[in-house]
Amino acid sequence: MDLYHSIVITGGGGMLALALKNVLEARERGYVALDRKSLDVTSEASLKAAFAEHKPTLLLNCAAHTKVDLCEDERDKADAINGYALGSIAKLARDHGTTLVHYSTDFVFNGAGTRPYRIDDPVGPLSAYGSSKLLGEQKLQESPPENWLILRTAWLYGRGGPNFPRTIVERARQGGTLKVVNDQIGSPTYTADLAEATFDLLDRNAHGIFHVTNSGSTSWHGFAQAAVDEFGVPVRVGETTSTEWLKIRPRQAHRPAYSVLDGSAMEKVIGRPMRPWREGLKSFRDAVNAKGFA
């Protein structure tokens, strides 16, 4: 059976789904994108109906509760969507012989490290969001299909949804004062690059957990300054610390201080590293200038 015979994308109305759809369309592959209105991943009945109707050979799970701070107040909802749903999806994928790709996060780590996190490093999420995504990884692996991928990524942005560089650029254009934390380090990752890497891994029959981010690292402040520079907004972004920011917004989720991911396992499979994060940001700028943020 052709892996790409019947492709289903859950969370089909979101930012990552748009990038996956763009790659599939460029490859002239058909797909079914199911948004939250057409598929409730927390409902086993809804999932069973979707599998029965579409009989996916490949399912790309983009459904997620991604509002990190809101997850602190909506822990049950986050666990249901990001966590327990994966148990049901994985079992149905196993029963139907479906290859399952699920996207996870750098937030499964506690950020105390000083070198890029390897796939087998101990996990220890600091936030409700990170805990819910780790739960999803665990539920998938409790009863997995024969073929599955968990792709941990980080600081994701792209066209088709709210994201950090879009927020920064829009606020800068409005003349607002910007202060961004300078003591959290990670790897900004462009959705288009993550989507391409997803299919590179699938084409090579990859299996298991991989770290997939653009290469290099920066702080949120460095990311913000790069964004306004790339979009030609002549402002200097102010700096602050995580401690100071939490004083202003005490209900905000705790984020790892260092969450750079080691992508060497992925590089061995696809034969190349991901391009640097700044190059991804330039491509994002070009795409937005051509088509807009949405």
> pLDDT at residue 252 above 90?
no
Of the pLDDT bands very low, low, confident and very high (cuts 50, 70, 90), residue 176 is confident
Percent of the chain exceeding pLDDT 90 equals 94
User: What pLDDT score does 294 carry?
Assistant: 86
Mind listing the pLDDT tens digit for each residue in 62-78? 999 999 999 999 999 99
Q: What's the pLDDT score for residue 136?
A: 98
Closest C-alpha to 206, from 100, 122, 117: 100
Q: Specify whether 129 is catalytic.
A: yes
pLDDT at 208 over 90: yes
Confidence of residue 156 (pLDDT cuts 50, 70, 90): very high
Assign 248 a pLDDT band (cuts: 50, 70, 90). Answer: confident
Sequence-ordered alpha helix ranges (H) in the chain: 15-26, 44-54, 68-73, 75-78, 85-96, 128-142, 164-173, 191-203, 220-230, 242-248, 264-270, 277-291
61 close to 68: Cβ distance less than 8 angstroms: no
CB 53 within 8 A of CB 109: no
Is the predicted pLDDT of residue 101 greater than 90, yes or no? yes
Tens-place pLDDT, residues 109-120: 999 999 999 999
Residue 1 has pLDDT above 80, yes or no: no
As a whole number of angstroms, the distance between CA 147 and CA 16 comes to 21
**Count of residues in the chain:** 294
Domains in the chain: boundaries: 7-220+249-291
Mean pLDDT of 212-219: 98
Name the architecture of domain 7-220+249-291.
3-Layer(aba) Sandwich (3.40)
Looking at every residue in the chain, the average pLDDT score rounds to 96
Query: 130-154: buried (b, 16+ CB within 10 Å) or exposed (e) per residue?
Result: bbbbbbbbebbeeebbebbbbbbbb
DSSP secondary-structure letter at 209? E
CA distances from 8 to 22, 29, 286, 290 (A): 14, 11, 28, 28
Choosing from 103, 129, 157, 258, the catalytic residue is 129
